[in-house]
């Protein structure tokens, strides 16, 4: 299950930044730790990280927005990642995904109105022999079909 979001606290963010500054190439570890702590990478922390790393805000913003794993808003209680790589596409994932999203009134990188489920795209889960595949709260699921996706939504809404 996805962790609950914590309100942004600049002092806590600075502690996280300071704890990672000694690492070789600290930007990614800092961003991951910030997201682990706050449930996302809040806009307010970007200048703080940029200053600590002596890079421009634009450069730091570019890093955050380039990587799909970094969220600008906290995720829902559960996260469903649907594979959009070639193997899954060859097994009909694009149509499966579009029908699923339409049926449940969801969209890529958005959270359901009840806060239960965030749907994200991922580009290869390494389950190509079991395409199409997904990842639900970190657990891989192979041979995904409409019924299994609907079950995931139901499970997310229950918990």
Percent of the chain with pLDDT over 90: 91
Percent of the chain with pLDDT over 70: 97
Residues of the chain with CATH 3.40.30.10: 78-158
User: Per-residue confidence at 68, pLDDT binned at 50, 70, 90?
Assistant: confident
Tell me the fold of 78-158: Glutaredoxin (3.40.30)
Tell whether omega for the bond before 18 is within 30 degrees of 0, i.e. cis.
Answer: no
CA 146, 136, 122, 70 dihedral sign is positive
**Cα-only R_g, the chain:** 17
Angle of CA points 83, 26, 71, to nearest 5°:
35
């Amino acid at each position: 299950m996805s962790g609950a979001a914590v309100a942004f606290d600049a002092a806590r963010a600075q502690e996280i930044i300071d704890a990672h500054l000694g690492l070789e190439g600290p930007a990614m570890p800092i961003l991951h730790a910030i997201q682990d702590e706050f449930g996302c990478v809040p806009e307010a922390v970007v200048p703080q990280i940029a200053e600590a790393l002596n890079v421009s805000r634009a450069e730091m913003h570019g890093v955050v927005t380039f990587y799909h794993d970094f969220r600008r808003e906290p995720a829902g209680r559960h996260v469903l990642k649907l594979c959009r790589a070639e193997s899954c596409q060859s097994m009909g994932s694009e149509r499966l995904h579009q029908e699923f999203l339409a049926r449940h009134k969801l969209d890529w990188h958005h959270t359901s109105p009840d806060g239960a489920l965030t749907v994200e795209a991922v580009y290869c889960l390494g389950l190509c022999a079991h395409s199409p595949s997904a990842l639900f709260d970190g657990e891989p699921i192979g041979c995904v079909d409409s019924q299994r996706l609907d079950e995931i939504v139901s499970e997310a809404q229950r918990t």
